[in-house]
Structure 1
Amino acid sequence: MFSFTYFYFPANNSPQKTEFSIIQTIHCVFDLRLMRCRNSQGLPLLLFTCLLFSYYYTCWHRTQYINEGLPDALVVGVKKSGTGALRSFLKFHPDMNFNTGEIKFFNHPWNYLRGYRWYVNQFEPRTKRGQIRVEKTPEYFHFESLTRLIWLMNPKLKVIVVVRDPVKRTISDHTQETVSRKYGGTIEQKLLDRFGNIDPTSELLAPSLYAKHVKRFLHFFPRDQLHIVDGDSLIKNNPSIELRKIEQFLNVSNYFTTDKFVFSQEKGFYCFNATNNSQTCLGQTKGRKQTPVDDRVVSKLKHFFKRHNQEFFDLIGSESFDWR
């Protein structure tokens, strides 16, 4: 396993067949034992070293093109909290260059292995000088190993987190999984242990533990580089209220005024009113009815989140949420 066979030509010019261990060669490279490796490994070791440096300079070397192309801000989460709505509005701002979809660079191993050059090439070209480049992938929030990778990319990065009532977010997440048939089972099976209590290790709960994940981000980024968006307010009220706060946070011009949004009676939420009076509304999957959940499960969720919510409020220095 992890080996291949190759032919090499020693001094007598007679071809020799050799089994080459990739792991052993990597061990030689990183232990700096290049001169002590067997002669039969000289060629693959040289090739491996060349490939390693070639990969680095092609994918990761921070050229001016890459440094200018990396995002200035990330919407890192939380999924099912209004991140899709936020992106659909922010993409209209003339001072923002927003990716069209979720790139999933940091949380997808294959994408990350492609390096910064690939990441930069996923964005649409800036339409004007000085645009703020923004990317949105909600999974960045609750995968613990990703925060350091994000910080290493840009310690001055501005981070945006959209939160909503964690009980509603959890139920909405379950509804999404049910509709997409991604995971089977009832919400009770996903949330409760064999004694009928909330299982704190449930994957469905993980994104809703705001304090845990915000604390990790604050370990790498100062508080003034982290902005919290009230996802419930973004959807229920005129979105310009939350969007103006983001404009101030990103230090861009004031574009989102109250008159740019019109409430749609048909949809049940606000739509963006473009300059040509054409309305842009969220997709059909937004605002769907939630899966009915037993009141006892809802009560258990509220009790479980109470301590986590208070810790979150203390971290961000605010309790201006309806679900506190």
Structure 2
Amino acid sequence: MSYQHFDIIDTNLTTLARYVIVSDSRIRGTLLASVLTVSFLCCYMCITLYQDSVTIYVKQDCDIDRYNVSDLQRKFPRLFIIGFGKSGTYALTKSLQMHPSIIGKEAQEIKYFDYLYSNGLCWYIGQMRDPGPSQFMLEDSPSYILHCSIVFPRLTEALKHFNLGLSDLKFIVIVRHPIVRAISDFVHWKLHKPNNTKSFDDMAIDSKGHPILKFGSTSKSRYSFYIKQCLEFVPSNQICFVNGDMLKTSPVLTMNKLEKCLGLPSNISSDNFVFNRIRKNFCFIKNSEIECPSTSKKGRPHPKITRRTADILMKFYEPYNKELYEITGEDYGWDYNYDEIDIAD
């Protein structure tokens, strides 16, 4: 029964109720009883219809094993960009999708294994495209790195439905200068908090000169803190690390290094990028079509910060940076390097 049917019933009940009011007292009681009876039946049918729709959704989600396993295996992502947000994940995703062996999913940042897990595994698979015979599905959800203790157990459980394991997957982590990333995150946060007039300095540093960790923009740049939690679930040789600063300035060199880490043939070249001199960033070329990042979403101007704030944050990030250098085997050269930061004094 559709909701249009209930609208018709509701209209007829209204007409009947009006007739009850104006009718003779001898038949008013009988008509009123009829109205109440029909109303009760309509309510019962509405509740039943709602329960049935919920039951159908749950059954559809729980019956994922009834699908052809080989077909679902191909749709399940083998590559995951798990972090860090505001480090260049958009550019990284676009660059990876220029490789013929990689295909992206339908939606941006699905966030299934942390925020939308209740949607069910069928919903998750429904977000994926149909890859070609030699293609791997890519998912980019940078928030995963922040919730490894939740994401990886859920991911492990999901893989069982497809006769896969964590060893069949590769994970990609992109990082950039921790203060630059924090400021970029702050700029993004401000878009959703237009009434907040506090500066980055006020949000990042307290009155005693200590970093405010409850301010997410500051906290998320502690890269090694989150990476070490992920290493409790997967070995480091399954994680490819990308220098977001280098991706911005030398995309071909950076992507060729990533291709090697992922075990893919080197395919991405200078033919895939063109530098936009006005916006001072690279655009992407695929199938002779040029795509540039949206000016409303990328390349937003960063606010100035004081040198005091920069020094306090850099001292705070030093031990985390050192741990990151040891984990990745690469020194990113961030220590007290403020070339990309607009210092106010």
Q: Deviations over 1:119-155 (max 9, x none)?
A: 11101222x2021111001111112432332344441
What does residue range 229-244 of structure 1 map to in structure 2 within 5 Å? 229-237=242-250, 239-244=251-256
Residue 114 of structure 2 aligns to a residue whose secondary structure is coil
Residue 141 of structure 1 aligns to a residue whose secondary structure is helix
CA distance in structure 1 between the aligned counterparts of 2:235 and 2:195, rounded to whole angstroms: 37
- The corresponding residue for 1:76 is 82
- The corresponding residue for 2:211 is 198
Q: Kindly state the Cα deviation for residue 183 of structure 1 after the two structures are TM-superposed.
A: 7.8
Q: Gaps (5+ residues) in structure 2?
A: 1-54, 160-164, 336-345
Structure-2 change in CA distance of 1:114 and 1:178 (3 Å): closer
Alignment-mate amino acid for residue 150 of structure 1: L
Residue 81 of structure 2 aligns to a residue whose secondary structure is strand
Q: Kindly state the Cα deviation for residue 55 of structure 1 after the two structures are TM-superposed.
A: 6.7
- The corresponding residue for 1:172 is 184
Matched, 1:310 2:318: no
Do 2:61 and 2:123's aligned partners in 1 also have CA atoms closer than 8 Å?
Answer: no
CA distance in structure 2 between the aligned counterparts of 1:245 and 1:188, rounded to whole angstroms: 36
Rg larger in structure: 2
CA distance in structure 2 between the aligned counterparts of 1:99 and 1:132, rounded to whole angstroms: 10
Q: Kindly state the Cα deviation for residue 315 of structure 1 after the two structures are TM-superposed.
A: 1.9
Alignment-mate amino acid for residue 283 of structure 1: S
Alignment-mate amino acid for residue 158 of structure 1: K
Matched, 1:259 2:264: no
Which stretch of structure 1 is more off in the superposition, 220-229 or 86-95?
Answer: 86-95
- The corresponding residue for 2:201 is 188
- The corresponding residue for 1:134 is 138
- The corresponding residue for 2:291 is 280
CA distance in structure 1 between the aligned counterparts of 2:129 and 2:294, rounded to whole angstroms: 22
CA distance in structure 2 between the aligned counterparts of 1:203 and 1:261, rounded to whole angstroms: 33
TM-score, with length taken from structure 2: 0.71
Residue 301 of structure 2 aligns to a residue whose secondary structure is coil
What does residue range 201-220 of structure 1 map to in structure 2 within 5 Å? 201-220=214-233
Structure-2 change in CA distance of 1:256 and 1:125 (3 Å): same
Q: Kindly state the Cα deviation for residue 199 of structure 1 after the two structures are TM-superposed.
A: 2.5
CA distance in structure 1 between the aligned counterparts of 2:98 and 2:222, rounded to whole angstroms: 31
What does residue range 213-228 of structure 1 map to in structure 2 within 5 Å? 213-228=226-241
Q: Kindly state the Cα deviation for residue 307 of structure 1 after the two structures are TM-superposed.
A: 1.1
Alignment-mate amino acid for residue 184 of structure 2: S
What does residue range 34-113 of structure 1 map to in structure 2 within 5 Å? 54=59, 57-59=62-64, 64=69, 65-100=71-106, 101-108=108-115, 111-113=116-118
- The corresponding residue for 1:322 is 333
CA distance in structure 2 between the aligned counterparts of 1:102 and 1:179, rounded to whole angstroms: 18
TM-score, with length taken from structure 1: 0.75
Do 1:140 and 1:146's aligned partners in 2 also have CA atoms closer than 8 Å?
Answer: yes
What is the count of residue pairs matched by the alignment? 270
Q: Kindly state the Cα deviation for residue 102 of structure 1 after the two structures are TM-superposed.
A: 1.4
CA distance in structure 2 between the aligned counterparts of 1:146 and 1:224, rounded to whole angstroms: 19
Q: Kindly state the Cα deviation for residue 51 of structure 1 after the two structures are TM-superposed.
A: 9.4
